[in-house]
Amino acid sequence: MTVSPMSIPTLESSSSIAAGTAGEKISKYVYKILVAFYQTNIISLNRYEMCLESLLEIQKEYSDNNWDGYGALPVKKSAIIEAKNFLSLIEEHQLPRPDPSPEIDGGVEFEWYLNPKKQFSVSFDGNGLLTYSGIFGEKSETFGIEEIDNSVPHIIQGHILRLYPEYWSLAEARQNRA
């Protein structure tokens, strides 16, 4: 299979995949997924746009009571607004983008996940506060609550940057310009 930057992927025949084998079926399945991505422009979206799109999907798909079958509350519009505003601040600060997800209490969570021992999350409940928690190795954990204003709290920036040290130079350059 080849993927050209400005075209839909093509499936090339391969002598290593016999007709009708599981390998060929998997290849065709992957091909269909790639075509679907190209047709919906998901691949061309940057990470910020993908995250924003995920928030819009969360707002639509999790707006009913009991969306999980176990009594989950609908995602609050105020939580979505807080998450969108925070996302624009993340973009402005050039921080790594999170993976958004709904929470059963009606909030929205942003997660930065590397592995079970390196992860950080921020939750928005629509009440003007964000809660956060993180794991940074075997013996290092953090959690807390911060007020939401028009900036990314320094403690939150620091925890995100702990997971992604390659972003420190960007953060230092911004600080030097200020």
Note whether 10 and 77 are same-domain residues.
no
C-alpha dist (Å) from residue 11 to 25, 46, 178 = 12, 25, 51
Provide the residue range defining the domain that includes 3.
1-44
Could you tell me if 31 and 77 lie in one domain?
A: no
Residues 13, 51 within the same domain: no
| CB 108, CB 101: distance < 8 Å | yes
Asked if pLDDT for residue 98 goes beyond 70, the answer is yes
Residues 15-53: tens digit of each pLDDT = 444 556 777 777 777 777 665 554 444 444 577 888 999
53 and 36, same structural domain? no
Same domain, 84 and 128: yes
How many structural domains compose the chain?
Answer: 2
Q: Are residues 85 and 105 in the same domain?
A: yes
User: What is the model's pTM?
Assistant: 0.70
Residues linked to residue 18 through DSSP beta bridges, in sequence order: none
